């Protein structure tokens, strides 16, 4: 028995009328609605995490960026697991990249941004030269991420991180000289 005989057919004209009613009369309005991207929209899955990380990349297959993204994703998958959310946003992803680069004032890639909430109104920003310095030694990027994440797990605020990172003691275990990277980390509270 054919089940389609019992269901009324929707004519092509009717479908077009329904779609037309759902669209705004101003096509520019629809374009603006589609292009509106906010940081909150980027996180999938939406379950709460302890830290949120966004790696901004040029997306032109640069070896250092690819390795950095691999380090970040491996750290999240094997160590932080569900307690951290990670995004890699390439410049080719125009709307998300534009949203992130304007929000975090990113002028050079790769740049890593970390916050304690998906809104990321307050955040820690790590500039490209520090990320490259950490990449020199195998495992240093992951040690750095683990150290910051552990401080967050222990209830340290971004203000606390700012004070801790301003001391040589924080950097000694990472084989990075603080005086050389002093201006490569910023925190917006």
Task: Take residue 187 and report the two structure tokens written for it.
Answer: 């925190």
Model confidence, pTM: 0.74
The residue with greater pLDDT, 60 or 128, is 128
Cα separation, 133 vs 137, in Å, equals 8
Q: What is the mean pLDDT of the chain?
A: 80
Task: Give the up-direction half-sphere exposure of residue 116: CA atoms within 13 A in the CB hemisphere.
Answer: 17
Indicate if 24 and 64 belong to the same structural domain.
no
Task: Take residue 116 and report the two structure tokens written for it.
Answer: 């304690």
Number of domains within the chain: 2
Cα separation, 98 vs 5, in Å, equals 50
| CB neighbours of residue 90 within 10 Å | 18
Q: Domain of 124: which CATH number?
A: 3.40.30.10
Lowest pLDDT segment from 76-80, 167-171, 173-177: 173-177
pLDDT digits (tens, 9 = 90+) for 122-140: 999 999 999 988 888 888 9
pLDDT level of residue 102 (50, 70, 90 thresholds): very high
> Residue 86 phi/psi, 5° resolution?
-130, 135
Per-residue pLDDT at 177: 77
Residue 8 belongs to what domain range?
Answer: 3-36
Indicate if 84 and 177 belong to the same structural domain.
yes
pLDDT level of residue 84 (50, 70, 90 thresholds): very high
Indicate if 11 and 49 belong to the same structural domain.
no
Indicate if 48 and 27 belong to the same structural domain.
no
Indicate if 54 and 122 belong to the same structural domain.
yes
pLDDT score of 11 more than 60? no
pLDDT score of 6 more than 70? no
Task: Take residue 34 and report the two structure tokens written for it.
Answer: 């589609």
């Amino acid at each position: 028995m054919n089940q389609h005989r019992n269901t009324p057919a929707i004519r092509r004209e009717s479908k077009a009328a329904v779609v037309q009613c759902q669209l705004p009369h101003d096509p520019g309005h629809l374009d603006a609605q589609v292009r509106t991207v906010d940081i909150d929209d980027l996180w999938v899955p939406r379950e709460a995490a302890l830290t949120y990380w966004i790696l901004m990349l040029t997306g032109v297959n640069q070896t250092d960026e690819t390795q950095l993204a691999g380090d970040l994703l491996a750290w999240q998958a094997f160590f932080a697991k569900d307690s951290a959310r990670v995004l890699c946003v390439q410049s080719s992803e125009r709307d998300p990249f534009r949203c992130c680069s304007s929000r975090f004032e990113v002028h050079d890639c790769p740049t890593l941004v970390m916050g304690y909430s998906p809104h990321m109104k307050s955040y820690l920003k790590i500039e490209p030269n520090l990320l490259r310095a950490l990449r020199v030694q195998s495992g240093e990027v992951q040690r750095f991420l683990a150290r910051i994440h552990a401080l967050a797990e222990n209830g340290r605020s971004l203000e606390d991180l700012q004070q801790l990172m301003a001391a040589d003691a924080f950097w000694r275990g990472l084989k990075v000289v603080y005086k050389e990277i002093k201006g490569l980390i910023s925190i917006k509270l």
